[in-house]
């Protein structure tokens, strides 16, 4: 096993590539030879670095159409199976709020937490702070969005809700199969949104990319997150990679390039360069005591 003290840049890049391509922590350990704690520590450091970069540089965006959605997952166990002591540690259902620019495919903002009105307002306020100018917003029918969008954007947006209607399944044994969508109900909440662009298709496609790209989001596996903090770090790394490194198939460039906040396709090495440089620790050795000891043994 390779520990943190001797983890060179090549192995570090290999670990990051494994994590962003959907490998679990343990499979990353097996493929790279890095120790498990080393992989987790690197994920933590990258999560902090990616979150900080996104918060600082993904701003002042010209967004015409913003699509928002929430992605369900869980930490430790599903909410119905969590004991009280584990709930205090953050176990249970966890949601990732995400807003995407329908034109550039840039993930404008994201937030990992609960699904109530407080989290909705925090998420929408974060998106509003990153966008300049008027924007058309589309969300699903989640009630928490009503006050959140108004509280964040005020009257400076055209907002519509798109509620999908699903038919009842006649095959109850297929409990993990999605129900068939039989229609959509559009509701104009504020402003004058263009009905042609009232859609959540792009953000839902991004949700699929997330589930395919992170083992933590894959259903019916044991690769789910065991700690909420590590879950957040993984999400931050994923969106940094999605925005700046991964070339979007329809755009032929990265979303960050399309949005004008990057001028080239980032490499994994550039991602790693976001990590803070190690600082040498000051020595605590008593030099006089060391000289006397050396003199006595000479």
C-alpha angle 211/46/68, rounded to 5°? 40
Identify the three-state secondary structure at position 199: coil
Domains in the chain (CATH in brackets) are 60-261 (3.30.420.10)
Instruction: Tell me the two tokens of residue 173.
Output: 């044994």
Question: Over 80: is that where the pLDDT of 296 sits?
Answer: no
Q: Tell me, what's the pLDDT at 164? A: 74
pLDDT band at 94 (very low <50, low <70, confident <90, very high): very high
Other C-beta atoms lying within 10 Å of the C-beta of residue 23: 20
Average pLDDT of the chain to the nearest whole number = 89
Question: Over 50: is that where the pLDDT of 67 sits?
Answer: yes
Q: Tell me, what's the pLDDT at 174? A: 56
Go through 152-169 and write b for each residue having 16 or more CB atoms within 10 A of its CB, e for each that does not: bbeeebbbbbbeeeeeee
pLDDT digits (tens, 9 = 90+) for 132-147: 999 999 999 999 999 9
Question: Over 90: is that where the pLDDT of 233 sits?
Answer: yes
Q: Tell me, what's the pLDDT at 5? A: 47
Go through 179-193 and write b for each residue having 16 or more CB atoms within 10 A of its CB, e for each that does not: eeeeeeeeeebbbeb
Q: Give percent above pLDDT 90 in the chain.
A: 72
pLDDT band at 4 (very low <50, low <70, confident <90, very high): very low
pLDDT band at 221 (very low <50, low <70, confident <90, very high): confident
């Amino acid at each position: 096993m390779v520990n943190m003290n001797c983890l060179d840049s090549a192995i570090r890049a290999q670990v990051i590539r494994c994590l962003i391509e959907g490998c679990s922590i343990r499979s990353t350990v097996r493929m790279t030879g890095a120790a498990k704690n080393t992989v987790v520590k690197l994920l933590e450091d990258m999560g902090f670095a990616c979150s900080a970069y996104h918060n600082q540089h993904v701003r002042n965006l010209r967004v015409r159409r913003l699509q928002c959605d929430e992605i369900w997952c869980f930490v430790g166990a599903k909410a119905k199976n969590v004991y009280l002591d584990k709930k205090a540690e953050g176990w249970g259902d966890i949601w990732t709020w995400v807003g995407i620019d329908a034109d550039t495919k840039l993930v404008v903002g994201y937030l990992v937490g609960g699904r109530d009105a407080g989290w909705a307002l925090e998420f929408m306020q974060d998106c509003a702070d990153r966008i300049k100018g008027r924007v058309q917003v589309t969300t699903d029918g989640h009630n928490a969005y009503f006050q959140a969008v108004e509280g964040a954007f005020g009257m400076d947006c055209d907002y519509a809700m798109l509620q999908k209607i699903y038919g009842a399944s006649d095959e109850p044994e297929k409990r993990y199969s999605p129900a068939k969508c039989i229609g959509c109900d559009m509701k104009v909440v504020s402003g004058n949104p263009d009905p042609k662009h009232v859609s959540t298709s792009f953000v839902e496609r991004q949700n699929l990319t997330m589930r395919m790209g992170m083992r933590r989001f894959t259903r019916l596996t044991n690769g789910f997150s065991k700690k909420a903090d590590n879950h957040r770090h993984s999400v931050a790394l994923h969106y940094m990679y999605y925005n700046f490194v991964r070339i979007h198939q329809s755009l032929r460039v990265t979303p960050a390039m399309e949005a004008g906040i990057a001028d080239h396709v980032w490499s994994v090495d550039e991602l790693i360069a976001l990590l803070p440089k190690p600082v040498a620790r000051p020595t605590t050795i008593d030099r006089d005591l060391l000289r006397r000891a050396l003199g006595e043994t000479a």
